[in-house]
Structure 1
Amino acid sequence: MLPRVQSEIQRRLLVNYRADADLVARLLPEPFRPQLVHGAAVVGICLIRLGGTRLPGMPRVAGLRPTENGAHRIAVEWDTPDSVRTGVFIPRRDSHSRATVALGGRLYPGWHHRSVFTVAETDTDLRVAFRSTDDEAYVDVHARITDRLAGSALFADLDEASRFFRTGADGYSVSRHPGVHEGLRLVSPRWDVEPAQVLHARSSFYDDRRLFPPGSVELDGALVMRHIPVTWQALPPLESKGTFTSLYV
């Protein structure tokens, strides 16, 4: 696995939910536990289009073609010998890119699943949907850019929401190796977010009443990032002591 890869976030739509903390804790493998905000777990969907993915030093024009990717994610914390770390645990990654799927766990950390994406965007409206070819996962989100973050029970304002997600830049994903969670860190010289109103959101994960009974998860809001240069840095894997069965096999 390569230690660093550069790319541009052409669009990153973060759809956020607040969820019952005890329920989410039962869904997580060791060593993770939910990172709480006002007593609630923070879960969500990341819909990201990456362009110009390349090795450091290569010109942008030599990078890969843009790829559409989706991830179901849970904000987590875990103990290290020196401190408590924060980030996200990702039970499922999806991509339209055959190369990303094939290289998942090799070049890119985490097990990636092949999905078909449908995207319609303007400067103010974003509609992103996907359905996996294994028919295990789907997402359909319609969001509209607004001038302020409104209606969130998790965050008082846009600055507070931005800080929360910037400090949770380490992501650990389910891998093809049972009990091993592969890590990736997002590093960027700048961090610009815009608030968005969610007009419609469906998810095979959060709409599954076996995982989230009625009343246990509620939509909280959305954030958008566009045209952000980033470096992706591989992290040492983390292992669970017990056997963790992925929510998506």
Structure 2
Amino acid sequence: MSAVGHDQGQLAAYVLGGLTPAEAATFETHLASCPACRREVRELSELRYHLDEVPPEAFLEGPPDGGDLLLQRTLRQVREEEGSQERKPRRALALAGAAVLVVVALGAGVLVGRQTSPEPSTVALPVPTATAPVPGTRDLAATNRDTGAQLAVRVVPAAGWVRLHAKAEGVREGEKCQLVVVTKSGERVNAGSWLVSAKGEKEGTGIDGSALVAPNDVASVDVVTMDGRNLVSAQA
């Protein structure tokens, strides 16, 4: 196994977009031959996707009891790892972000909102109910080291077609993009299009779409500009 190994920090940094293009390319080479890491990337991408969907006000009460302690321990481990060998600051920030992601995930089951009124009262918000994914659902992710674009997409099978829930990051404001499903025979089917906003350039753009492609015929999901440039391709 390569030096990349099963580095949990690098797994999280990859999903959070914290690796340099060279690091991402090296890690993707490892992913191609490591089913365990591919599974973890899918799980982390799924977690990140669901957390992105939670409205900010749902976290007004902060993390659960013990969350601060877990965060402190994780950040301490990150600092020790960073002190033992020279790494880029961007990697350190990504690892710290992964620690925050873990604490927030632990708090997702106890989300509570606080409502302001003349007589202060605490109102419990509905707790999201986790539902099992549709059988055959696939989570794909990719980073293009040349364009800097990243794509995380969930492909949900239907009767002869697929639904897609995607997030594209690292794309410049003003780009006109399409979400394209590529079949195993090379046919390209448009699943949606959008114009990247200033917020989309900074925080990424969420896209929901669908394509008339059989679930078992999906070869990849690509982000392509209207003028034909392929920004990133997530292989199935």
Decide: shared fold, TM above 0.5.
Answer: no
- Which one has more relative contact order, counting CA pairs under 8 Å at least 6 apart? 1
TM-score normalised over the length of structure 1: 0.22
TM-score normalised over the length of structure 2: 0.23
Highest CA radius of gyration, 1 or 2? 2
Structure with bigger strand share is 1
Structure with bigger helix share is 2
